[in-house]
Amino acid sequence: MANEILEDQIGGEYKYGFVTDIEADNAPKGLNEDIIRFISKKKNEPEWMLEYRLKAFRYWLTLEEPRWAHVSYTKPNFQDIIYYSAPKPKVQLNSLDEVDPELLKTFEKLGISIEEQKRLSGVESRIAVDIVMDSVSVKTTFKETLSEKGIIFCSFGEAVQEHPELIKKYMGSVVPYTDNFYAALNSAVFTDGSFCYIPKGVRCPMELSTYFRINASGTGQFERTLIIADEGGYVSYLEGCTAPMRDENQLHAAVVEIVTHKNAEVKYSTVQNWYPGDKEGKGGIFNFVTKRGICLEDNSKISWTQVETGSAVTWKYPSVILKGDNSVGEFYSVAVTNNYQQADTGTKMMHLGKNTRSTIISKGISAGFSNNSYRGLVRIAKGASNARNFSQCDSLLMGDKCGAHTFPYIEIKDKSAVVEHEATTSKIGEDQLFYCKQRGIDNEKAIGLIVNGYCKEVLNKLPMEFAVEAQKLLAVSLEGSVG
Amino acid sequence: MEIITKTNITKDKLIAEFESSKNSLFGDLKLREAAAEAFSKQGIPNRKSEEYKYVNVELLLKGDHSFSSSKKLSSQQIGSTQFLKDAIVIVIENGVYNKEHSRINPLPQGLQIFNIAEANSNETFQKHFSKYSDIKSDPFIALNGALASGGVFIHVAKSAVIVTPVHIIHITSVSEATILNSRNLVVVDENAQLKIVESYEIIDSSVKCFNNALTEIAVEVNAIVDHYKIQNEKEFGNLISTTQVLQKKQSHFSTHTFTLSGSFVRNNLNMVLDDQFIESHLNGLYLTNGTQVVDNHTLVDHRKPNCNSNELYKGIIEDKSSATFNGKIYVRKDAQKTNAFQSNKNILLSDDGTINTKPQLEIYADDVKCSHGTSTGKLDADKIFYLRARGLSEISAKKLLMHAFASEVVDTVKIEALREYIEAEISKRFE
């Protein structure tokens, strides 16, 4: 009975599948050293940056594509991707009036009207947005307000030009180009991204946000985000992503690095809604992302919150290296898969410092024919005394054709560590549905209600504006999906 | 590069041994050749193999080995390993069934014991032998398939209830480094019942010994089987112990693995629940010290609806030892109404010890209740304080708590004499 209701509802449509008709400046397809030189030249980069890219590329050539994740897909043809696509005309933009109106329309469709936010600025919801389209940053808002406080928030390309000392010091310090296949690829071909630096003792007054969108066909998106919070700094950072509907699989291989110094805190929230492919599993984004933060010094904190509803294949493990004493790592995740989506996601918590704590809450929801895996590692190194970890990963199955899996790895080398892990798998109870229906709530709303309740622990961690969006997104993903 | 070369040497050595001895080995040569080929394809797992990630098997197989031992044990020596006074005793000496030392007369009605090397003409044997362990799934299953030297085939006839436990003692006694491959098959027919204890001991040896033991158990409709493994091979024992179980409708199987000593112990416990209304219990206790490495891998494959499985593994880790637990539960598409529970609890007592645990669920059916939990910690300071406030010394308070921790598993042992033996062994360990 419940299954029928669920199946009836499978069929939710992707609502961000429009293509914006903006002329783009593309590199030719394919990948070789010339393409990398081309990208570097386009970005007007200094010599050391090009050297870094080439080193990464040469290393990448020695690697094989990883296959260990619990997902199956056809290997992307790395020679069939456009590695650079910039929306034209690309000029230095000072005010919104100069932005291509087509682009503005795109943002309106995305539901992030910059104009509106500008109007609201200084009133209540204040978010500074950096928008990255086809891997080139097109607009950063509120730059002036932020710079008064000494906060640097700009595109990665700009940071390379204007703050080379910071980039040199921190880039690759958390995710070196030797880290993995896609990190190496990204280090070689990344085109842009966001950069954020919070100086000593500054609490960022507003949420910082990056919006990623793949627009042009046949392109891959390779952006890089670097966030540094110096002593006592604090920032809450949001990331959102969408892409048009296309039959082909597009590749998104990003790298995010976070560094926190003494007493600093970074909160990173993602609502990932790349195009998941159609109901037959055709098309959709391959989302292969390396995200890692390091609590470099004492008493620092990194918190990851993610709501994953999109992408055909997701392969992502936002991690925290707890190096400083008393540092804290958190990971809150909701991953929804529907139709033929596949997700293999989780986290790594590496406890190195003393008295370090980590919390992992992961909620997986699978519907349709999808497969959803949690894969996580908790490692307590020798000497990381009094480390504490609590992990909980729950799975909710909707329908009998999907799968939910957990692969937790726990490695402990210190006797004072206390580590707990719990996992459950279940489905929406008929009695829960019955209860709602009896009170006049229709099936779809009832399922939405139950799922939102199930995810509440994670959704509560999102900043206000995102929480609302995430709840809607869950409802949309589950409408027609199962949920 | 060096490691790869070495691996090949070891692998080639094992394959060469098969080629030279294959005509003198018992049983179906075709089966053995297929197994040898499967082994050759898989090779010896290294640290990059997901299933052998935490143990270095390559290292154990390095160097020169012989594949049998002519060393004979006295009946007194063998007697020292018979800790169950009231049991049917089967002695497997250096990988070969030793009938003289076994205590099998008279056998209760319905129970038959054969030397596996002479069982090939038996119809039941043919029906079940090598049908459950998949040579492609693990290189050591394949290696055993190629090189199996001996063991027993135990058959319990329809509706026979065997009250006396059957105790299989694997005794190893060697004078040079040896690789042994013993193999047993147990078939428990419809409505029959059996209690079976397998123990592993090494006596009078001072060289490295590697035992790759494989036991296949078929539990037919309505049968009840109670299975125990006691691993106590001391400092020279390196043991890979694979248990492959197939359960039929409404059958009941419980297994208990106690790892008390042994320099290296790897347990592969693979359960296939191939019909409805099956119940399975998997219990394990490992107490490690010194530089011991213990690695427990379990796989519960729920293929059909309405089955229950319940798993409890506990460990106490001391000194520089390391313990791994990897529990997999598969719930296939058809296996609705499955209840599968898994729990792994560890106490780490030293700063140099390591615990790796990976409880893994793969679920493809929606109407199921599955959960796993794992916890690792130290002895509770509050509890120690409570006991000390009542006059116990710190050491005896800790011992008491460790006993209490272990007893949850020990209490599941249904054979009283065995439980007493295990309790005594645990007490010795905590001295």
How far apart CA B396 and CA A303 sit, in angstroms, is: 43
* Tokens of residue A264, six digits: 């600093």
User: Which helix (H) or strand (E) is B291 found in, with range?
Assistant: none
Distance of CA B408 to the CA centre of its chain: 20
Per-residue pLDDT of chain B (431 residues; tens, 9 = 90+): 344 444 567 888 888 889 988 888 888 899 999 999 999 999 888 888 888 888 888 888 888 888 888 788 888 888 888 999 899 999 999 999 999 999 998 899 999 999 999 998 999 999 999 999 999 999 999 999 999 999 999 999 999 999 999 999 999 998 888 999 999 999 999 999 999 999 999 988 888 899 999 999 999 999 999 999 999 998 889 999 999 999 999 999 999 999 999 999 999 999 999 999 999 999 999 999 999 999 999 999 999 999 999 999 999 999 999 999 999 999 998 899 999 999 999 999 998 999 999 998 899 888 888 888 899 988 889 999 999 999 999 999 999 999 999 999 999 999 999 999 999 999 988 87
A415 with B358: Cβ contact below 8 A: no
Distance of CA B82 to the CA centre of its chain: 19
Residue A112 has pLDDT above 70, yes or no: no
A400 with B375: Cβ contact below 8 A: no
Q: Which residues of A touch B365 (CB under 8 A)?
A: 397, 400
For residues B359 and B327, is the Cβ–Cβ distance under 8 A?
Answer: yes
- The percent of residues in chain A predicted with pLDDT above 70, rounded, is 77
pLDDT at residue number A290: 92
A412 with B356: Cβ contact below 8 A: yes
pLDDT at residue number A339: 85
In the structure, what pLDDT confidence band is assigned to residue A9 with cuts at 50, 70 and 90? very low
Q: What is the mean pLDDT of residues A446-462?
A: 84
* Tokens of residue A130, six digits: 């950096």
For residues B187 and B218, is the Cβ–Cβ distance under 8 A?
Answer: yes
pLDDT at residue number A106: 55
pLDDT at residue number B212: 94
A423 with B361: Cβ contact below 8 A: yes
In the structure, what pLDDT confidence band is assigned to residue A287 with cuts at 50, 70 and 90? confident
H helices of B135-289, in order, are 139-147
Question: Pick the residue with more confidence: A387 or A109?
Answer: A387
Question: With 0-12 CB in 10 A as exposed, 13-18 as middle and 19+ as buried, what is A179?
Answer: middle
- Highest mean pLDDT out of A84-93, A238-247, A293-302, A468-477: A293-302
Count A/B contacts: CB-CB distance under 8 Å: 115
Q: Which of A406, A420, A431, A433 to mutate to test the interface with B (most CBs of B within 10 A)?
A: A406
- DSSP collapsed to 3 states, chain A: CHHHHHHHHCCCCCCCCCCCCCCEEECCECCCHHHHHHHHHHCCCCHHHHHHHHHHHHHHHCCCCCCCCCCCCCCCCCCCCECCEEECCCCCCCCHHHCCHHHHHHHHHHCCCHHHHHHHCCCCCCEEEEEEECCEEEEECCHHHHHHCCCEEEEHHHHHHHCHHHHHHHCCCCCCCCCCHHHHHHHHHCCEEEEEEECCCCECCCEEEEEEECCCCCECECEEEEEEECCCCEEEEEEEEECCCCCCEEEECCEEEEEECCCCEEEEEEEECCCCCCCCCCCEEEEEEEEEEEECCCCCEEEEEEEECCCCEEEECCEEEECCCCCEEEEEEEEEECCCCEEEECCEEEECCCCCEEEEEEEEEEECCCEEEEEEEEEECCCCCCCEEEEEEEEEEECCCCEEEEEEEEEECCCCCEEEEEEEEEECCHHHHHHHHHCCCCHHHHHHHHHHHHHHHHHCCCCHHHHHHHHHHHHHHHCCCCC
pLDDT at residue number A117: 45
Q: Which residue has the tokens 């010091």?
A: A169
B366 with A397: Cβ contact below 8 A: yes
B354 with A407: Cβ contact below 8 A: no
Q: Which residues of B touch A (CB under 8 A)?
A: 50, 333, 336, 346, 348-378
Distance between B59 CA and the closest CA of chain A, angstroms? 22
Give all strands (DSSP E) within B189-292, no chain letters.
193-202, 209-219, 224-232, 237-247, 252-261, 264-273, 279-288
* Tokens of residue A156, six digits: 């990665």
pLDDT at residue number A379: 94
A419 with B375: Cβ contact below 8 A: yes
For residues B255 and B285, is the Cβ–Cβ distance under 8 A?
Answer: no
pLDDT at residue number A103: 55
- DSSP collapsed to 3 states, A383-435: CCCCCEEEEEEEEEEECCCCEEEEEEEEEECCCCCEEEEEEEEEECCHHHHHH
Q: Which residues of B touch A425 (CB under 8 A)?
A: 361, 363, 368-371
Q: Which residues of A touch B362 (CB under 8 A)?
A: 70, 403, 405
A420 with B371: Cβ contact below 8 A: no
Q: Which residue has the tokens 């009938």?
A: B99
Q: Which residues of A touch B (CB under 8 A)?
A: 3, 68, 70, 382-383, 395, 397-427
For residues B234 and B200, is the Cβ–Cβ distance under 8 A?
Answer: no
B376 with A416: Cβ contact below 8 A: no
Q: Which residues of A touch B357 (CB under 8 A)?
A: 408-410, 421
pLDDT at residue number B346: 94
> What digits encode the pLDDT tens for the residues B175-231?
888 999 999 999 999 999 999 999 999 988 888 899 999 999 999 999 999 999 999
> What digits encode the pLDDT tens for the residues A377-414?
999 999 999 999 999 988 888 888 888 999 999 999 99
Q: Which residues of B touch A423 (CB under 8 A)?
A: 359, 361, 371-373
Q: How many CB atoms lie within 10 A of CB B211?
A: 23
- Nearest CB to A403: which of B352, B364, B378? B364
A424 with B370: Cβ contact below 8 A: yes
Helix (H, G, I), strand (E, B) or coil at B59: helix
User: Which helix (H) or strand (E) is B125 found in, with range?
Assistant: helix B123-128
For residues A416 and A386, is the Cβ–Cβ distance under 8 A?
Answer: yes
- Nearest CB to B363: which of A404, A410, A416? A404
Q: What is the mean pLDDT of residues A244-265?
A: 84
How far apart CA B183 and CA B80 sit, in angstroms, is: 23
Residue A187 has pLDDT above 80, yes or no: yes
pLDDT at residue number A69: 81
Distance between B233 CA and the closest CA of chain A, angstroms? 25
Q: Which residue has the tokens 């002895």?
A: B379
What 8-state DSSP symbol labels residue B331?
E
Strand partners, B51: none
Distance between A421 CA and the closest CA of chain B, angstroms? 5
B373 with A382: Cβ contact below 8 A: no
In the structure, what pLDDT confidence band is assigned to residue A468 with cuts at 50, 70 and 90? confident
pLDDT at residue number B287: 94
In the structure, what pLDDT confidence band is assigned to residue A115 with cuts at 50, 70 and 90? very low
* Tokens of residue A162, six digits: 């204007």
Tell me which residue of A307, A304, A251 sits closest to A478, measured CA to CA: A307
Residue A19 has pLDDT above 90, yes or no: no
Angle (deg, nearest 10), helices B2-21 and B29-42: 180
Amino acid in the structure at residue A32: N
Tell me which residue of B54, B58, B80 sits closest to B13, measured CA to CA: B58
Distance between B79 CA and the closest CA of chain A, angstroms? 40
Helix (H, G, I), strand (E, B) or coil at B213: strand
DSSP, residue by residue, B359-428: EEEEE--SS-EEEEEEEEE---HHHHHHHHHTT--HHHHHHHHHHHHHHHHHTT---HHHHHHHHHHHHH
Q: Which residues of B touch A415 (CB under 8 A)?
A: 348-351, 353, 378
For residues A114 and A129, is the Cβ–Cβ distance under 8 A?
Answer: yes
Question: Pick the residue with more confidence: A310 or B375?
Answer: B375
pLDDT at residue number A483: 36
- Highest mean pLDDT out of A193-207, A322-336, A388-402: A322-336
- Highest mean pLDDT out of A124-128, A141-145, B300-304: B300-304
For residues A251 and A220, is the Cβ–Cβ distance under 8 A?
Answer: yes
Distinct helix (H) and strand (E) counts, chain B = 9, 20
* Tokens of residue B36, six digits: 């040898």
Question: With 0-12 CB in 10 A as exposed, 13-18 as middle and 19+ as buried, what is B428?
Answer: exposed
> What digits encode the pLDDT tens for the residues A167-185?
999 998 999 988 889 999 9
Q: Which residues of B touch A338 (CB under 8 A)?
A: none
Distance between B431 CA and the closest CA of chain A, angstroms? 20
Q: What is the mean pLDDT of chain A?
A: 80
Distance of CA A227 to the CA centre of its chain: 14
For residues B170 and B180, is the Cβ–Cβ distance under 8 A?
Answer: no
* Tokens of residue A373, six digits: 């895996």
A425 with B333: Cβ contact below 8 A: no
